[in-house]
A and B are shown apart, each in its own frame.
Chain A
Amino acid sequence: MLTLTRRSLGALALAAGLAAGGAAPARAQAAGDIVLGGSIPMTGVFAFAGIGIHAGISDYVKIVNDAGGVHGRKLRYVYEDTAYKVDASVAAFNKIAAQEKPNLYYGDSTAFSKTINPELERLGSAIMAGASFATELNDPAKFPLQFMAGPDYTEMFGILLRYIANEKPNAKVAFVHSDTEFGRDPIATSARRAGELGLKVVETIVTPPGSVDVSTEVLKLRRAAPDYTIFHGYVLAPIPEFITQARQMGIASRWMGTFWSMDNSMVQQMGEMADGFMGVMPYRYYYDDEGQAPMLAKIRQMRPDYQSTAYMQGFLTAMLMTEAVKRTLDGGQELTGKNLKAALNTIRDFDTGGIIGVPISIPGNSIPVGRIYRADVQKKLMVPASDWITLE
């Protein structure tokens, strides 16, 4: 009979570990796969987005591989859960970078994108995008190997402000934002932009993170009496309570949000209060079947249930990364970060299969396109309120 002593068990474990550790790099090299790595927040405060992003990336990778890959090479998506913690994201990056040699990487936060940037440049073998639309990242000189699959937060405000200026010239606008890096991002630059468009920013309200009651903030808003109020830096709370109290006080503002507060399932949680809530969205919604949108049709076929806007973000990010790989290989070039980014920047009037309603170009680190959507509480859907707006 075989008896396992503690020592032999240890030896066995060591042997198994060596075998596993030795096998992984060999597999990556032999297959010639193109690896898309990811620090993905599958748990923690950002999990609602992370789960959608993960599904979107996975689905696009599957579509590419089912069609034979890129130049015959399979895409392989390797991710780790980060719980939306920067140290965990960095650890995941280091692990995946060492074991899998990714050419593409998805990061989960602004802080991570900034932290990892020097390492990304040092490695020089990959381009990166992620869940952050931070204005700061939209700088090809400082972040030459990164991009974002949509407008940055200042551009989102720019799109909203341009819509407002068209609808109601000289309108009074208020900004309400969370006291976080995310919340503060577009505020100063957008105040200037509003002035250029002839709009007047009558109040800027800051809410501390995690604050529950917004009564005092609503009182401030009543005093300012804006025509439009733009929320930024939130997902859901405290927007519903803010609108509820403001309506009770008789404040006649229109209410607007930016990308992360615009998912249909989140907005509809506001119930009646969502009526007329508007915001900027760079992607079309899952259920949008207007016109030609083969990719949306494909997504609905793969997943019969509603998919969030975070899903669309992950899906489009994977699509653009794949396009960069394809263009680099088409040019007979090596898959380095620099070549991939240069290939990405050659994207002009690109058809996303309907994920974005107009052809897109990526001259720098962002795609400055979006559309205003409005909540229709009867239909329980976000519906278009404007045409597509492209910033120059």
Chain B
Amino acid sequence: MPTSYADPLIWGVIAAIGLLTYLIRLSFIALFGYVDEIPDGLERVLRYVPPAVLGALVFPAFVTIAPGAGGLEADRLVAGAAAIGVAWWRQSVLATMAAGMGTLWLVRFVVLPAV
């Protein structure tokens, strides 16, 4: 489904997204350069940014509960569960990737076609 937008419009969209994204990235990094002391309360809250955002990025990729989408997608659910187990057990990116992709392909190409 190639777009019917002309080239200059595409470049305009890329530039707009790029500029706004850069301002988001720069925001507090620039601001805190001018502030003397970062409030204790804020630092406490910021500690929860990594787990909360990463959790919100990870789980929807494994579990889909979209109305009308036909419920759970078995291959991603099973592969996600296997990857979570290995990630917890081994704490290794390589092992996590291998378990996740390996299980996804196993379920998608071997198990699902057989049932």
Is the A/B pair a real complex?
A: no
Task: List chain A positions with a Cβ less than 8 A from chain B.
Answer: none
